[in-house]
Amino acid sequence: MRYGSSRKVLVTGGAGFLGSHLCDRLISQGHEVLCVDNFFTGTRRNIAHLLDNPRFELLRHDITHPLYVEADEIYNLACPASPIHYQFDPVQTTKTSVNGAINMLGLAKRVKAKIFQASTSEVYGDPELHPQPESYWGRVNPVGYRSCYDEGKRCAETLFFDYHRQHKLEIKVARIFNTYGPRMHPNDGRVVSNFIVQALKNEDITVYGEGLQTRAFCYVDDLIRGFLSLMETGPDVTGPVNIGNPEEFTIIKLAETVIRLTGSKSKIITRPLPPDDPRQRRPDISMAQNVLGWTPQIQLEEGLGKAISYFETFLSADKSSGAVR
């Protein structure tokens, strides 16, 4: 592999929220990027600014089917990540996590590429241990509404480590905690985008339960920096590594902060808590700090300000064009 120089990097899910930011960073570092996406949740809008770049290539493809390309590195990010989207077709969600992992691992094995798996904090389920270290095995409902995603990602991790042990494949596994920032899908049902869009429209902000459940929010630039740091480690570092911000906030506090930052007239209303919704989620990032030298740098209010600016522009553009999406 051509480490230390330009590399050909395959990014599955490259037109999505995280994937498009990763493509940006890889291009800025001088690499060639092949962006693969089936556009179920990803959009051309996210990567439109890269389409004329000679080092960027876009391929429409569903990774549940085999892919035959050349690459020095593979980042496997393809999978709907919000409950609204992954519950829309739960069987396809599991196929994307499991069959997609098999296809990408098979490709990595054929071309001898280093491969990165975007796993998730959802592998911990509704945790009994707080914060969650990588050694915690989790508390996941295998037959619930979130299982297609939770168990799909857990199985993908299993496949990655079995390929590593059986075929000596060089793997990197990151467990992503709540991430936010520009290019989030406005209708993905995730709490940050929901609150910002509702606040900008002066609509009621929907909080589930009493809003006392907690989350830790990582800004997208910090997360991508963590990805790159993990990928640059030696072959002895496989992960899984938690990548997320350990600063914890209640959902009701987040809603109040968004209302204040947007100057919104929105009121907070409550709805029943969805099934299997975790009560608390916060990463133990000791491994990321010690092994990668990584720690998040962007505070919540700064990151929310950038996300709010993005959604203001997005909603304004869609309103002027008459777009529905």
Give yes or no: 149 in active site.
yes
Q: In the numeric block, which tokens belong to residue 143?
A: 């037959």
Task: Give me the catalytic one of 149, 163, 180, 219.
Answer: 149
Would you say residue 235 has pLDDT above 70? yes
The domain ranges of the chain are 8-177+220-244+284-297
Strand ranges (E), the chain = 8-12, 32-37, 56-60, 73-76, 114-120, 171-176, 179-180, 205-208, 214-216, 218-219, 241-243, 248-250, 268-271
Q: How confident is the model at residue 226 (pLDDT cuts 50, 70, 90)?
A: very high
Output the pTM of the full model.
0.92
* pLDDT above 70 coverage of the chain, percent: 96
Would you say residue 261 has pLDDT above 60? yes
Question: What are the pLDDT digits (tens) for 150-208?
Answer: 999 999 999 999 999 999 999 999 999 999 999 998 888 889 999 999 999 999 999 98
For tokens 């959604």, name the residue.
Answer: 311
Q: What is the CATH number of domain 8-177+220-244+284-297?
A: 3.40.50.720
Min mean pLDDT across 13-17, 86-90, 175-179, 230-234 is at 86-90
CB-CB contact of 213 with 255 (8 Å): no
Min mean pLDDT across 47-51, 182-186, 262-266, 303-307 is at 182-186
pLDDT value for 276? 67
Cα radius of gyration (the chain): 19
Q: What is the mean pLDDT of residues 98-122?
A: 98
Q: How confident is the model at residue 2 (pLDDT cuts 50, 70, 90)?
A: very low
* Alpha helix stretches (DSSP H) within 133-190: 147-167
Average pLDDT for the chain: 93
